[in-house]
Each structure stands twice: as structure tokens, then as C-alpha cells.
Structure 1
Amino acid sequence: MSALRFTLVFGALLLAGCRQDMEDQPRYDPLEASNQFADGTSARTPVTGTVARDADLSPTPDRIPSPVTIELLQRGQQRFDIFCSPCHGRTGDGHGMIVQRGFPAPPSYHQDALRKASDRHFYDVITNGYGAMYSYAARVPPRDRWAIVAYIRALQYSRDAPVAELPQTVSARLEEMP
């Protein structure tokens, strides 16, 4: 019995000796004022050129980097409808619900300047924002950005397809129209 008592007493003394210095140390909350530094802040400004841990440092291609498949276009349509159509409209004409509520209209994807723009242009605008449009980099992953670009190209093609490239049945119907 005395060995058990000795073990319990020794264990209790051992546990009583543990300290929680790491847990109880003084610290500052983010953006809390401090007299530690001359500017009165507790945090330091990141060094110029600092890159976020999750930043994608791979080079961005100029064209859609994967084959344009029906699955890619469907994913692009889904993402476009969620993130882009409130401003750009479901057809890309720039007349979305936000515009109907009084916000400025974005440009139509069907104007010549945007039909001639590179795929990279659309990808960069989604990533970094442009004009009144803010960045979607935190909301739309790169693969989905390229899917949206592919869908924008499909929208553009739907209004500006060369007649020579249309299926025979469609071009025949166009010729029958007054």
C-alpha cells in the first residue's frame, strides 16, 4: 500500500510542478495598439514582396489551358450564373439584376473589343478585378476561372458565329427567314 501511496503522491507533485507559460504569456490581439513600437501598433507591416502562403506562383497561360469540353462549359455556366450574371446578365449583355437596381452597367461581352480580348484578359479580370468589379480570386478557384472564360467565349460565339461554320440545318433555316 505504501508503494501505491508513494506513486500517487509523487505523481501529484510532478503534475503540480507543470507550468503553463506558453498558454499564459502576454500577447496582443490582431491590430491592437501597443507601445512596443514607435508607430503604436502591435503588428509589423509585411516586407515588400511578401507572398501569401497559398499564392499560386505558377505562370498563367494566355489561353484556356485545358480542352474545352461540354463538362467544362457546364461548370463555367454554373459558376458564371452564380458569380457573374448578377452584374453581366445571363447572356453577358451587361443587364443583370444589379444593374436593374441602379448600379452602373458593365460592358457587354458581345462588343468587338471584348470579342477580340485574349482569354488571359478575362482570367486576369476575374482574378484581380477591374474598374468597379472587385477581385474574385478568393471566391473562384483558378480552374473555375478558366471554366468561366470558356463559357464567356461560348456566349460570344452564340451571337457572332460565322454562317459558314453553322450546321447545314441551321444555315438552311437562316436562308429561309425573310
Structure 2
Amino acid sequence: MRAALILAGLALAAPLLAGCGKANMASQAKAKQWDENQFFADHSSMRQPVPGTVARDAPDAPAPQPAVITAALLERGRTQFNIFCSPCHGQSGDGRGMIVQRGFPAPPPLWLPRLEQARASYLYDVITNGHGVMYSYADRVKSADRWAVIAYVRALQQSQDAHPADLPEADRRLLEAAK
């Protein structure tokens, strides 16, 4: 008798344990894109997004090229360069980053004359859309940060021909003290 009660209880509880049974989300009542919907005054099932909604995959708006290069901009560029660019380009821009050391094709050194002479807009386009084996960084590096990276790349390029005599006196003393 006890076993019969347990079996009867399980038989009654089976639909509850199975979740929704035959009903599932694919067969539920729902409004599709172009269906008429009597719930809303305009009878449209498609709704406008709530004001201020930002799409997850929307690209950020292009930032204008900065008119002035500041220390903060260079620091931001260095940070972003070290995160996104140095794995291939190396921290000094020599094209011998860790990924290259593991067999990935080497990018050219950033201080090649053709890259030093390239317009900033060209470098921005390469970061945005990719070039050769370099893929697009548009979804990884914000527009304003691309300009910061370019400013830092320009600093790296200038550093290749720098001489201690070009430094201000205070910086030369610091350099000598570090030796």
C-alpha cells in the first residue's frame, strides 16, 4: 500500500518535475516584428528603444584628432599601446613582440621612414580597419584611444634618433645619475 501511494504521488508530481511539459518558448504566444498588436495605441508590435539606450555592438563615434599632445594623452597612448599593440609590435615598436617570438609574422618596425612619414589619419585607419595580417581593433580600442596610441607611436618614432644632448639639462643629469 505504501509503495502504491509513493507511485501515485510520483505520477502526479511528474508534470511538475518535467518543467513546462510540452509548452516551450518556441510555441508560446508572442508578437513578431510586423504583427499588429492591439495592446499599443499605434497597433505596432515593434517598439522604439527607450531613450538613452546604447546598442551593445554599436561602434563608438569617431573622435576628432587632438589638436594638442599632452602628457596625459601620451600616457594613455602608452598604456593602450602596451595592452593592444606590444604583443606584436613590441614595447619599443621594433616588431618583435611576444606573439612574433612564438611564430606570428613580424610587423615592420614603427620607425621605418614610410611609417614615420605616414599621416596620422593613415595610422588611425590601420588601427580601425586592420592592414595585412593585423586585424581591426575598432571594437577593442576606442576612437579617442586610437589617437592617443598614434601620439605615443610618434613619440616612439622620435625616440629612435634621440641623443642625450637633445634633452634638457635636468633630464640629462637624471640620465647620468641612472648610469
When the two structures are superposed, what TM-score results if normalisation uses the length of structure 2?
Answer: 0.59
The Cα of 1:69 is off from its aligned counterpart by: 0.9
Alpha-carbon separation, structure 1, partners of 2:67 and 2:145 = 12
Alpha-carbon separation, structure 2, partners of 1:25 and 1:54 = 24
The Cα of 1:56 is off from its aligned counterpart by: 6.1
Alignment-derived partner of residue 143 in structure 2: 142
CA contact (8 A) 2:60 2:143 kept: no
Is 1:77 the counterpart of 2:105? The answer is no
Structure 2 vs 1, CA of residues 119 and 162 (structure 1 numbering), >3 Å: closer, same or farther? farther
- Provide the aligned length of Structure 1 versus Structure 2: 125
Root mean square deviation of aligned Cα: 3.1
Q: Which residue identity is paired with 1:142?
A: S
Alpha-carbon separation, structure 1, partners of 2:154 and 2:88 = 17
When the two structures are superposed, what TM-score results if normalisation uses the length of structure 1?
Answer: 0.60
Alpha-carbon separation, structure 2, partners of 1:165 and 1:68 = 19
Structure 2 vs 1, CA of residues 167 and 108 (structure 1 numbering), >3 Å: closer, same or farther? same
Is 1:153 the counterpart of 2:154? The answer is yes
Alpha-carbon separation, structure 2, partners of 1:90 and 1:163 = 21
Between 1:113-122 and 1:160-169, the stretch displaced more is 160-169
Alpha-carbon separation, structure 2, partners of 1:120 and 1:164 = 32
Alignment-derived partner of residue 98 in structure 1: 99
Alignment-derived partner of residue 31 in structure 1: none
Structure 2 residue runs without a partner (length 5+):
1-27, 34-56, 174-179
Q: Aligned residues: percent identity? A: 54
Alignment-derived partner of residue 113 in structure 2: 112
Alignment-derived partner of residue 41 in structure 2: none
Structure 1 residue runs without a partner (length 5+):
1-19, 27-52, 173-178
Between 1:125-134 and 1:158-167, the stretch displaced more is 158-167
Secondary structure (helix, strand or coil) at the match of 2:69 reads: coil
Secondary structure (helix, strand or coil) at the match of 2:160 reads: helix
| Stretches of 4+ aligned residues off by more than 4 angstroms | 55-58, 162-165, 168-172
Note the 1:158-177 alignment, pairs <5 A. Answer: 158-161=159-162, 165-168=166-169
Alignment-derived partner of residue 41 in structure 1: none
